[in-house]
Amino acid sequence: MLAAVRNVEVEGLGLWEEVLREEGYPYRYFDAYKDEVPDSDDGYTHLVILGGPQSVNDAEKHRYIRKEMNLVEKFISKNKPVLGVCLGAQIIARVLGSKVYKGAREIGWAKIELTRPALVDYLFAFFPKSVRVFHFHEETFDLPSKSIRLASSKLVPNQAFRYNKNVYAIQFHIEVTPTMINHWKEYYRDYLSQIGQLELPSFVPDGSYFPLSWELFRRFIQLPQKEA
């Protein structure tokens, strides 16, 4: 069973739920913001930590972030696959000893460029060299030691990385659906107003977006679970 940890109600698995249903792969949501974080990795093969407006630097304010970090550590220690998206990526980076800090704000659709190592990476090898994805963040992180950078953007050099063979951190959002973005427009309305952005850009990916998202996640759930 896959464990998916939400940090806010409007940021779920999105397109990836379709993959899980098609593959018949069992999964369960845990709502961290309701203090629903597993104490153990027992019974779970894969872990996905999703996005949210919180900062990993606010672990004292949001105690559940520390619980998520502990859970990531347990999965990594047993060589179980882990995938972090946005805040989830920052949590993984912090667990691996990197700093997380304010960076260039990216909101909306923009291209990422794959690195040379990504061209032979299992999750990213089928991606085009450049692809348009959705961004919604203002924090970034240093590349953790012994990890491999997989993607960059003009403003943020560390858009994705892999640690070992089965731990992936993705700063951008490739799981979003049109419905999700519409929900985000309403949910984050006050924040967008505060930063002077009237609204989120519309859902306008190119034709490759959906199959890229589905195939990336299909490959993730195919990663073997191998306990240390």
> Is 175 assigned a catalytic role?
yes
Tell me, yes or no, if 138 is annotated catalytic: no
The single-letter code of the amino acid at 108 is: G
Tokens linked to 145: 């030691």
Residue 92 in tokens:
């993984």
Whether 215 is a known active-site residue: answer: no
Distance CA 42, CA 92 (A): 19
Residue 198, beta-bridge partner list: none
> Closest Cα partner for 71 from 105, 98, 47?
47
Q: Choose the catalytic residue: 68, 106, 139, 175.
A: 175
Which DSSP category does 201 fall into? P
Continuous segment of H or E residues that includes residue 55: none
Of how many residues is the chain composed? 228
* Dihedral sign (CA 4, 67, 77, 151): positive
* Choice among 46, 135, 137, 173 that is catalytic: 173
Identify the active-site residue in 11, 62, 86, 135: 86
**C-alpha–C-alpha distance, residues 146 and 215, integer Å:** 26
What is the distance between the alpha carbons of residues 29 and 32, in angstroms, rounded to a whole number? 9
Residues forming the active site: 86, 173, 175
